[in-house]
Structure 1
Amino acid sequence: MVGVLIRMRLRVLRHGLRGSARAAPFLVGSVFGLVGGLFTAVVLAVGGPGGAAGESLAIGTDVAAALLAAWTLGWVVGPVLLSGSDETLQPEHFRLLPIGPRRLAGGLLVSAVVGVPPLVSLVAFAGLVVRGATLGVGPLVVALVVVPLQLALVLALSRVVVGALGAVLRSRRGRDLGVLLAAGTALLIVPAQYAVKAIAPILVERRSPGFVAVLRALPSGWAPVAVEAAARADWWRVVGAVGGLAALVAVLAWAWSALLVRRMTTPPSATGPTRAGRKGAAAGGGLWALVPATPVGAVAAKEVRTWWRDARRRSVLVPGLVLGLALPALPAVLEDDRGHLGVGVLAYAPLFVIFISTMNTGNLYGFDGTALWHTLVQPAAAGADVRGRQLAWLVYVAPVAVVAAFALPALSGQTGAYPWLLSLVPALLGGGSGVLAVMSVFAAYPVPVQRSNPFAAGGMPGCSKALLQVAISLLMLVVALPEVALVAAGSVVDSAALRWLATPVGVGVGLLSAWAFGRIAVRRLEERGPELLAAVRPR
């Protein structure tokens, strides 16, 4: 069965890379991943700095344990942060086949090795083999055993964590909690930078024996510990480390099989609106009465409700708003010696909000899937659909950005940021609403219906998403250029009038870019609607 599953994965991968539009980003991402894997492999192979043989061996093991802990953490946190676990072969596809859960779990786990992320990880872990070869025959043999076990560990641990979270987050409240969990996980990026700066001297100079002992005691550190023990001829420790890895992989495989049973036998929970919500929506009172009774207003109202009710959409909208405000605040909290710099960055949090929200939500039609055909079969519906989606996005992002633009400079004492913010915020809001519409029709990809696993990935490789974000960032930069030029020129010549002139210019640029980019999206939707429908069709 494993051979069949591997061939299925290869076939799906091959079909998913048809055409240069998908193959090129996939290859670029694969190259970057391999470069990172090779760098890790080189560090693992080199080990510690020169010195006494025993001290160098210990430092090399400490460095390897830290690197493998980082890779293991990446396998666990990555799917939560990116909402993209690899489910090329979904267990539900095998629900009606006479295959036991343990056999299916083992087959899916082994077939999961076929893919770019496992290959990159294997390249990185292979540095232990090179290090073992430099230490002798015994360490080489041990390294050849522990490297596959280390790869199996990260694969199984990632599946178990994502599967357990998926089981917890199936309800509506659970999915809302998952959105906050993803945002909180992303907030670890900035503290991680400080941790990396602090860990390097601790490992090389061995300043903290307790911290090093924890790294070695973690399951991610058992592989380098086994190689070091083999070099020291401590075979009992080798047996303990290798046996512990094998036993842990077996336990994780069993846990995943249990999660598969629960996943394949538990019906999906209802996620529709409550009766009170339906009555409130039907009544049309309150703010809904302000929505014009036009096609654009109808689409905007529908999209506003959908952004709030659909867990998949909330999972990309809410983290952008939270991270945009929180990430600039972290330097002010963490940089004790450069706190003034952190406070200065905090004033520009509205720009982070707009930028991150635009990048996260640049796949509007991917969430619709085949429901897009409702728009395509209606005469002259493309214009209203695009404009309504732009307005709905602004309903959520604009209030947060505008309030932050007025409040944060005053709270942080950076009142000099007002000319920048009051010109850039309207420009980027308009530009962001247009840019996400353009990217939604030119670079759409399918987003699967989350019936069982909230962290299931779509059909688009992760590297494609990265390139999509780069493209969006470049377009946003073009929108910001006129305002930046005016404020910068006013600062150079010390002209307050020139600096504040950028504010109406920013409003005008925002309106113009929203209209122009939206028009491009409308024409693309009208001319290439069937191709877009094929691109967002779930696979």
Structure 2
Amino acid sequence: MVGVFVGMKLRVMRHALRGNRAIGTILGGVVGLAAAVATLSYGAVSFADPGTSVDLLASIYALWLLGWILGPVLMGGDESLRPEHFSLLPLSGRKLATGLLAASFVGVTTVVSLVAFAGLFVYGQRLGGGAALVGLVFTVLQLVLAVLLYRVVTGLLGALLSTRKGKDLALVVVALLTLSGVALQYVLHTLGPAIIDGQASELTSVTRALPSGWGAVAVRAAGDGQWTTVLLLAAAMVVLLAGLLLAWAKLLARRVTHPAYHGVAKSRAKRTGRALLPATPLGAVVGKELRSWWRDARRRTTMFSAMLVGPVIMIGPSLYDGSAATFASGAGVCLAFYVPLYTGNLYGFDGSGFWHTLLTPGAIRADVRGRQLAWLLIVGSVGLACCLVLPAATGHPSTYPLVLSLFAVLVLAGAGSVALQSAMAPYPLPDQRKTSNPFATGGNAGCAKILPLLGMELLAALTTIPVIILEVFGRTQDLPVLRWLEIPVGIAIGGAFYWYWGKSAVARLTATGPEILAELRVSV
């Protein structure tokens, strides 16, 4: 049965990896392989203190394990073989878990990770034949641990999001995973040199105790002839893997036997007071979109994650480098630039429901403008709060004109680019009635569809040049009036892109609506 699942995965990959998608996969594999080779090389480096190699490898492998959890959760899980496809087959949960686990090892990510974990074998070769053998065994065990842990975490979050309270809890988990990027930056810039110098004993004690560090500890123990320690660590790893496999089998069984879709929920809300939105087609679309971004687990997870990552990129460095506090004041600007990159598939979220808009006379324009306005209300309110609070909180109030003007350009242009990208290159997503995992992307935009969005974001970034020129001239000539003039200039530039790209999205949907509907109806 394992061979059947592996063969299915290989066939899916053979049909999927074509054209631009294959190019993107190759480029990603090359970058990942470079990081893996760098990790492997640390196993061959000799240090004055023999324990430094263990500390360094244990810490690096903790980051790789974190990447297996954080990366797929934020970017979307691999759902090319979904458990629901096998719900009618006489397979036990354990057999299904084993088969899908075997299929999970077929991919570029696992090959790259295997090269990285092979650093244990390289390290063991320096200590003798027995240590090299132990390193080879733990290379395989740690790869299995990474894949299994990723599957359990994504399966657990998917199960949690089948309930309303679970959805809120899972979003907190996503927030914590996103904020862990701050810890990653701190490790790379501060703790890395400290580990090599032997000045991070508390951290290395923790990384050695984590399962990701057991391999390095076991190889060192084998080199010292402490075979009892090696056997205990190997037995503990096997027990942990067995427990994760059983947990994943139960999660799969629940996912197959308890579909996420339970019909239309009855609304208990009662209208009190006058509605804030006008009783027009535009107001209806805005209201619908606001409720969808809040209630739809997949939409909410995408928006919430994207909003967090941008500020983390800017605020993170300031936590360990005081000179980077100026960048933290621009977290709202980074948010406005980053969120459109992840939310430019509005019609993909709707799927075949797009036919309602397509068949309603005159509805396309209201639909596009309503989606733009709803997106702007959500992203703009959060980003504006960051722009108003952070410059003063970081001790750089002089950056207010520049921050607010850049934010105005990017958030308004972002609302336009999201609409146009959704009309130009929507791609289907898995039916939420068949899967409870909000991180499952199933469909893939591919390079051909991602590049236009990147191009639009780059163009929006280039249009900030007039604002930057005013900022430079105002500072050099000591003219505060010019600096505050940046804000209306930024609003005018961003507003022009908001209007023009929205108009282009309306024209695109009007001209190619049936073709877009046909593509969104494809089952993934």
Of the three residues 287, 296, 308, the one matched with 2:276 is: 287
* Structure 1 position 292, deviation (Å): 5.0
The reply on whether 1:7 has 2:4 as its aligned counterpart is no
2:492 to 486, 493, 508: 508
Alignment of 1:28 with 2:21, yes or no, is no
Q: Structure 1: which 5+ runs fail to align?
A: none
- With 206-215 and 240-249 compared, the bigger mean Cα shift is at 206-215
CA contact (8 A) 1:47 1:61 kept: no
1:36 alignment partner AA: A
Unaligned runs of 5+ in 2: none
Which residue in 2 is equivalent to 1:38?
37
Q: CA deviation at 1:407?
A: 4.6
Change (3 A) 1:416 1:199: closer
Contact 2:328 2:390 in 1 (8 A): yes
Question: More displaced, 388-397 or 137-146?
Answer: 137-146
Could you say which residue in structure 2 is the equivalent of 1:300?
Answer: 286
CA contact (8 A) 1:142 1:227 kept: yes
TM-score (norm 2): 0.90
Answering whether residue 149 of structure 2 is matched by residue 157 of structure 1, we say: yes
Q: Which amino acid aligns with 2:427?
A: Y
Give the equivalent residue in structure 2 for 1:445: 427
Question: What is the CA–CA distance in structure 2 between the aligned matches of 1:347 and 1:463, rounded to whole Å?
Answer: 32
Distance in structure 1 (CA, Å) of the matches to 2:466 and 2:263:
45
- What's the counterpart of residue 188 of structure 2? 196
In 2, are the aligned partners of 1:25 and 1:464 still within 8 Å (CA)? no
Residue 300 of structure 2: aligned partner = 314
Q: Which amino acid aligns with 1:311?
A: A
Distance 1:527 1:69, change over 3 A: same
Q: Verify: 1:517 aligned to 2:510, yes or no.
A: no
Change (3 A) 1:292 1:153: same
Question: What's the offset of the Cα at 1:97?
Answer: 0.4
Equivalent runs, 1:409-448 vs 2, <5 Å: 409-410=391-392, 412-448=394-430
- What is the CA deviation profile of residues 98-157 of structure 1, one whole-angstrom value per residue up to 9, with x for unaligned ones? 111111111111121001211111121122223333433222322232211111111112
Identity rate, percent? 43
Letter in 1 for 2:189: K
Q: Is the 8 A contact 1:41 1:124 kept in 2?
A: yes
The worse-fitting range, judged by mean Cα deviation, of 235-244 and 523-532 is 523-532
CA contact (8 A) 2:417 2:453 kept: no
Deviation at 1:404, TM superposition (A): 4.2
Judge conservation of contact 2:142–2:212 (CA < 8 Å) in 1.
yes
Q: CA 1:42–1:376 in 2, change beyond 3 Å: closer, same or farther?
A: farther
Aligned residue in 1 for 2:137: 145
In structure 1, the residue matched to 2:467 is 483
In 2, Cα distance between equivalents of 1:22 and 1:489 = 44
Question: Residues 284, 6 of structure 1: CA spacing in aligned structure 2 closer, same or farther, 3 A cutoff?
Answer: farther
Aligned-residue offset at 1:309: 1.8
Task: Tell me if the contact between 1:479 and 1:513 (Cα under 8 Å) persists in the aligned partners.
Answer: no
Aligned equivalents of 1:132, 1:201: Cα separation in 2: 23
| Displacement of 1:393 | 0.6
In the alignment, is residue 349 of structure 1 matched against residue 336 of structure 2?
no
Q: Which residue of 2 aligns with 1:383?
A: 365
- In structure 1, the partner of 2:16 is 16
Aligned-residue offset at 1:349: 3.1
Output the CA distance in 1 between the equivalents of 2:35 and 2:136.
21
Alpha-carbon distance, 1:458 to partner: 2.8
Letter of the 2:158 counterpart? G
The residue type paired with residue 310 of structure 1 is D
Q: Mark the CA change 1:144 to 1:326 in structure 2 (over 3 Å): closer, same or farther.
A: closer
Partner of 1:81: 74
- Aligned pair in 2 of structure 1 residues 201, 87: CA closer, same or farther (>3 Å)? same
**Cα gap change, 1:128 to 1:306, in 2 (>3 Å):** same
Name the TM-score, length of structure 1 as normaliser: 0.87
Counterpart residue type for residue 238 of structure 1: V
Aligned to 1:369: 351
